[in-house]
Structure 1
Amino acid sequence: MAQQSTHSEPALAAPEFESAAAELDTPDLTGYEPFVTHKEFTIYRRPREPLYEYKVVGVLAGIDPATCLAVYTDHQYRRTWDEYIKDIRAIPDTDGGHYCRIAYPWPLAHRDYVYWMRTRLLGDGDTQVSVTIGRCHHHPAFAEVKGVVRVDSYAQTLVMRKASGGTLGTQVFMEYFDDPKGHIPSWLINWAAQKGVPAFLDQMHKACLNYPGRK
């Protein structure tokens, strides 16, 4: 989503959450190809020139959905386990507005994001599904900073539910696109995705196991 000239919080309609929840059981993989298999996850990609967009399906074993959602949305905790996060915070007086700055390896400049993230819980009990949608937007209090590249094309959807089969685990569907801009070769970005997405899944799994609020 491109930046807007005026500040207005983006609208996310109920059908967007319901459509995302439906992909938990039957992901729409039209145009996607298998990219990486990692433990209990399969990562798919589809061209979005000059980059790719990704879908991830699988199970986080040994973790309940409530813990997964808490870890994903707990910014203070993320500072402790994600080494690439240099700044992440909620934007005051907004409904789901956030700011995040991520470190890129030298000599690349850091990237930062202004985005909205909202979660809805659909259903209840063991079949309850959590849907968290994040989209880039604009906020006048967070102008671009010299030396940091502002990412204005970013979207992420995370859907989770208790895994079936009677074993402890969380069934996961994630959809992701990020255009970091700048003079980065597309092959390098795609190589980083091949390594980075599995690494993030491992980090999040470990963070869930160590989460202070875990029952």
Structure 2
Amino acid sequence: MTDLAFKDSDFELACKELEEPQTEGWEFFTESHGVTIYRMYNEKSGLYEYKVYGILDDVLPDVCAQVYMDLEYRKKWDSYVNELYETEAMGRKYIYWHVNYPWPMSHRDYVYARSLREMDYNGKKIWVVMAKSEKVASIPEKDGVIRVEDYIQSCALTTDGKCGSKAYMRYYDDPKGSIPTWLINWGAKTGVPGFLTMMQAACRKYPEYLREKQAQVQLS
């Protein structure tokens, strides 16, 4: 069944980007920790959209996809999470994500739709995750927290042919508020590779987390 928030072509495009990077018209931004980042300027917001290509050496793509989707686990390994949960509105599922920003900046929150598909693309198995912000009346804004209304992300993962994962991510959000655009753009340069490094470490620890979780269930 087709997800209402995303088209089949969205998933297929992510698969194509993973196998054949489409960087024409994009500016090379930085390369760090085995990750190459390109960016494209958005004249309306003064911010950049990013494409990320890289290899996660020692974690398998199915594990990466599970970690990416596991909200309870994310609360344990991502120190920027203030609140994170899945909710339902009008018969559809959404994610609410409240992010801690460093003082003196206001915190941000997101309400977004998300979908994971396991794709067969040119004989390869590729895990694709799509996410984008949506307005949901039943999840009102909070005092002192800025609602991010322009957020989109796609991520595709497949085997690197060894013991790791080949990864592609496309990302854009406009955090609004009074943060200087130069600071946001600088943050992306360090934040994206930093997030992938943090996620890679979380993937390594995921089997242990699942064992501990199962043990707690058996004891309860």
So what's the TM-score if we normalise by structure 1? 0.90
Give the counterpart letter for 2:76 in structure 1. Answer: T
SS in 2 for 1:108: coil
Question: Match of 1:23?
Answer: 17
Deviation digits for residues 106-146 of structure 1 (CA, Å, limit 9, x no counterpart)? 1100000000000111118x821111110100212211111
- 5 Å matches for 1:110-189? 110-123=107-120, 127-164=124-161, 167-189=162-184
- Gap change, CA 1:134 and 1:145, over 3 Å in 2: same
Report the Cα offset of residue 25 of structure 1: 1.2
Q: CA deviation at 1:10?
A: 4.5
Tell me the distance in 1 between the aligned counterparts of 2:4 and 2:177. Answer: 26
Q: Give the gaps of 5 or more residues in structure 2.
A: 212-220
Aligned partner of 1:72 in structure 2 is 68
Deviations 1:32-51 (A, max 9, x none): 12212112210111111300
Query: Is this contact kept in 2: 1:10–1:116, CA < 8 A?
Result: no
Q: Secondary structure at the match of 2:23?
A: coil
2:5–2:113 Cα contact (<8 Å) kept: no
Tell me if structure 2 keeps the 8 A contact 1:10–1:137: no
Instruction: Specify which structure has the higher proportion of helix.
Output: 2
Stretch of structure 1 that moved more, 11-20 or 76-85: 11-20
Within 1, Cα distance between the matches of 2:35 and 2:114? Answer: 24
Name the stretch that deviates more: 38-47 or 107-116.
38-47
Residue 52 (structure 2) aligns with: 56
The answer to whether 1:45 aligns with 2:42 is no
Is the CA contact (8 Å cut-off) linking 1:117 and 1:135 kept in structure 2? yes
Q: Deviations over 1:58-99 (max 9, x none)?
A: 111111111100111101000111110101100136544110
**Which residue matches 2:218?**
none
The alignment partner of 1:171 has SS state of strand
Distance in 2 of aligned mates of 1:95 and 1:59? 33
Compare 89-98 and 137-146 and name the one that shifted more.
89-98
* Residues paired across the two proteins, number: 204
> In 2, distance between residues paired with 1:15 and 1:48?
23
Q: Percent identity?
A: 39
Structure 1 contact 121–129 (Cα < 8 Å) conserved: yes
SS at match of 2:19: coil
CA deviation profile, 1:138-182 (whole Å, cap 9, x unmatched): 212211111100000000000001112xx2001100000010000
Q: Report the aligned-residue RMSD.
A: 1.8
- Structure 1 counterpart of 2:201: 206
